[in-house]
Amino acid sequence: MKKIVLVLFMGLMGLGLTAQVKAPKIEFKAETVDYGTIEKGSDGVRVFEFTNTGEAPLIVSKVSSSCGCTIPKKPEEPILPGKTGEIKVKYDTNRVGPIRKAITVISNADTPTKVLKIKGEVKAPEGKK
């Protein structure tokens, strides 16, 4: 009797483990945005595009940056399977020097935390510092 119960239990466990869970999946077009060399005071807005390649709606719950000089904006609505979305990032280009920042994206995707990066350099206009 114990063997029969054990075999049934193992069979049910096997079925449970092989069942596919429908989950959203976030795939970014690029995980790093390179500003290149830009001039002080120029447009600091860039966009990270992504697609929900999963089988359930994707909800981006939080987007944060590694410092206050970078302001990310997340999508407010769920991204349906097969659809695209974007995360806008605005860097304060009044700060001269190299750009090396991280943006953390938290969602209900199969990989719930994703770190995106921005890089580049802000130069002072010629003849000014």
Q: What is the structure's pLDDT at 126?
A: 77
Domain assignment present for 129: no
| Predicted local confidence at residue 70, as pLDDT | 94
> How far from the centroid of its chain's Cα atoms is residue 120's Cα?
19
Whether 2 maps to a domain, the answer reads no
pLDDT less than 50: residues of the chain = 6, 17-19
pLDDT confidence of residue 17 = 47
Pairing state of beta strands 113-123 and 32-39? parallel
Is the residue at 48 inside a domain?
yes
**The CATH number of the domain where 40 resides is what?**
2.60.40.10
The pLDDT value recorded for residue 112 is 95
- 50 in any annotated domain: yes
Spatial distance between the Cα atoms of 63 and 75, rounded to a whole number of angstroms? 10
**How many domains would you assign to the chain?**
1
Among candidate residues 50, 45, 27, the one with its CA nearest the CA of residue 120: 45
Question: Burial of 31 by CB count in 10 Å (0-12 exposed, 13-18 middle, 19+ buried)?
Answer: middle
Name the residue among 111, 115, 123 with its Cα closest to residue 54. Answer: 111
Look at residue 22 in the predicted model and tell me its pLDDT.
Answer: 85
- Report if residue 15 sits inside a domain: no
Q: What is the pLDDT of residue 125?
A: 83
Residue 39 located in a structural domain: yes
| Per-residue pLDDT, 48 | 97
* Full strand arrangement of the beta sheet holding 45-52: 26-28, 45-52, 84-91, 70-73
